[in-house]
Amino acid sequence: MGKVIVVTSGKGGVGKTTSTAALGAALAQRNEKVAVVDFDVGLRNLDLIMGAERRVVYDIVNVIQGDAKLPQALIRDKRLDNLFLLPASQTRDKDALTPEGVEQVMNDLKRYFDWIICDSPAGIERGATLAMRHADVAVVVTNPEVSSVRDSDRIIGMLDSKTLKAERGERMEKHLLLTRYDSNRAERGDMLKVEDVLEILSIPLLGIIPESMDVLRASNIGAPVTIADARSAPAMAYFDAARRLAGENVPISIPGEKRGIFGKIFGRKAA
Amino acid sequence: MSIFRLFNKPRSAPLARERLQVLLSHERCSMDKDLVSLLREEILAVIAKHVQVDADKVQIKMDRGEHVSILEIDIEIPRDAEVLAA
Ligand SMILES: Nc1ncnc2c1ncn2[C@@H]1O[C@H](COP(=O)(O)OP(=O)(O)O)[C@@H](O)[C@H]1O
Ligand SMILES: [Mg+2]
């Protein structure tokens, strides 16, 4: 049976979709079967980030409403054979995702895939709760910034109360993915430190993804950053995070800490 | 400009950290309050099915720790309470 991961945050624009695509592709590159699922009904984006927007025929709502079979809706990645996308629909009907329908889709996906990664919409409403409902593991995406940390705290509370795991009295495995981390600002003392965020949210750290132009470039060409430029700093951070998700013990490094005095003086404007 | 800025403006991150700690301890508390009042109502309803209790004699408290929360339920049942069902 596959493992279900929800990528969630409460706040929008923190890097959930970017992280879903990057982690999905990183796990698929380990030869595991991966499905990434877009729960952002009405505002789908994962298809664009994966570069599959022109190949969407059916979506998750079509499957739930019985207009398409699951295999018809799954889009195989052009670069990685064992990476699949289940797109969200563009319907404005918020009730298009039903709890029963989502449960059926999740159970089917779990039989075919090793990993099912659910990209959550922003907010704490229906879409977000349905995305986390069946999760075994939660990746809480947080930016080192006050409003993002506060929203993550809310989401952690929901993960501990509104999920199937929580209702069964089991413990939800939660990991913090700190994204858009800017080492220059951290050095200046104008950004919450990694330790601060960890202490406040008190869940274990899965990884630190640096703020980087490489993420923007990857989205421009329509590829997860772990495929677009596997040697870039954000890609390497995502690869490490994926290894930790798979149970490997990989030491955490804080991006940008190795820069010398030269970088400190001249690197600021460039970053 | 960046060098001067470094000396002129106080670092803002420590303040952010402090504000968050105060805010979140408050918010976590009020979330627990919602849960506690819900539990209180339902527990009272269950008990009332079998024994007559005074709603004021039911104390419910939640202590939120880092890893687990402890729910304390304290119910005073008078000796002569009417037992509705055995
Ligand atoms: N590590 C990063 N460095 C630079 N830009 C990033 C990074 N992560 C995300 N972004 C950008 O932030 C924006 C929001 O990201 P997205 O993944 O769509 O967030 P969400 O799904 O949480 O709303 C996008 O423009 C994306 O390119
Ligand atoms: Mg998104």
Q: What is the DSSP string of A116-169?
A: EEEEPPSSSSHHHHHHHHT-SEEEEEE-SSHHHHHHHHHHHHHHTTSSHHHHTT
Assess contact for A136 and A4: CB atoms under 8 A. Answer: yes
pLDDT at residue A147, rounded to an integer: 96
CA distance B71 to B64: 9
A216: tokens are 């923007």
Tokens of A36: 């990434």
Q: What's the pLDDT score for residue B5?
A: 57
What's the gap in Å between B85 CA and the centre of ligand 2?
55
Task: Count other Cβ atoms within 10 Å, centred on residue B44.
Answer: 15
Q: Give the bridge partners for A212, in sequence order.
A: none
Nearest chain B CA: its distance from A4 CA (Å): 23
> Does any domain span residue A266?
no
Burial of A171 per CB tally in 10 Å (0-12, 13-18, 19+)? exposed
**Per-residue pLDDT at B52 exceeds 90:** no
CB contact under 8 A, B27 and A150: yes
Any B CB within 8 A of A69 CB: no
Q: Where are the alpha helices (DSSP H) in B1-86?
A: 2-8, 13-48
Q: Strands A173-181, A205-210: parallel, antiparallel or unpaired by DSSP?
A: parallel
Torsion of CA A42, A46, A47, A50, to 10 degrees: 170
- Cβ-based contacts of B17 with chain A (< 8 Å): 192-193, 196, 200
Nearest to B66 among A161, A191, A202 (CB): A202
Domain that holds residue A213: 3-246
Rounded Cα distance, A71 and A85, in Å: 11
Report the mean per-residue pLDDT for chain B: 77
Adjacency order of strands within the sheet including A137-142: A75-76, A83-86, A34-38, A115-119, A3-8, A137-142, A173-181, A205-210
Q: What is the pLDDT of residue B73?
A: 85
CATH at A112: 3.40.50.300
- Measure CB to CB from residue A190 to each of B11, B24, B31 and give the nearest one: B11
- Domain annotation covers residue A257: no
Distance of alpha carbon A203 from alpha carbon A198, whole angstroms: 7
Instruction: Determine, for residues A268 and B19 on separate chains, whether the beta-carbon distance falls below 8 Å.
Output: no
Flag whether A250 is marked binding.
Answer: no
* pLDDT at residue B48, rounded to an integer: 83
Cα(A40)–Cα(A127) distance, integer angstroms: 7
Query: Ligand 1 within 6 A of A71 CB?
Result: no
Residue A109 lies in a domain: yes
User: Per-domain residue ranges for chain B?
Assistant: 23-77
Least Cα distance to A245 among A133, A125, A117, A147 occurs for A117
Which amino acid is present at A11? K
Phi-psi region of B10 (alpha: psi -120 to 50; beta: other; left: phi over 0): beta
Whether A200 and chain B come into contact, CB under 8 Å, resolves to yes
Q: What is the pLDDT along chain A (271 residues), one digit of tens a residue?
A: 999 999 999 999 999 999 999 999 999 999 999 999 999 998 999 999 999 999 999 999 999 999 999 999 999 999 999 999 999 998 878 788 999 999 999 999 999 999 999 999 999 999 999 999 999 999 999 999 999 999 999 999 999 989 999 989 898 999 999 999 998 888 888 999 999 999 999 999 999 999 999 999 999 999 999 999 999 999 999 999 999 999 999 999 888 765 444 444 444 444 3
Mean pLDDT across B32-58? 80
In degrees, rounded to 5, the angle at the alpha carbon of residue A164 between the alpha carbons of residues A142 and A152 is: 15
Residue A183 near ligand 1, beta carbon < 6 Å: no
pLDDT of residue A260: 46
How far out from the chain centre does Cα A135 lie?
13
How many whole angstroms from A219 Cα to the centroid of ligand 1?
9
Q: Number of folded domains in chain A?
A: 1
Whether residue B69 is predicted with pLDDT greater than 80 in this model: the reply is no
Minimal CA separation from A261 to chain B, in Å:
14
Helix or strand (DSSP H, E) at A270: helix A261-270
- Asked if the Cβ–Cβ distance from A193 to B13 is below 8 Å, we say yes
Q: Which ligand is nearest to the CA of A43?
A: 2
**Calpha distance A115→A250 (Å, rounded):** 20
User: What's residue A261's pLDDT?
Assistant: 47
In a domain, A267, yes or no: no
- Is the per-residue pLDDT at B8 higher than 70? no
CA distance B37 to B43: 10
CATH 3.30.1070.10 fits B23-77, yes or no: yes
| ipTM entry | 0.76
Contact B24 A268 (CB under 8 A): no
Note whether A8 and A163 are within 8 A (CB). Answer: no
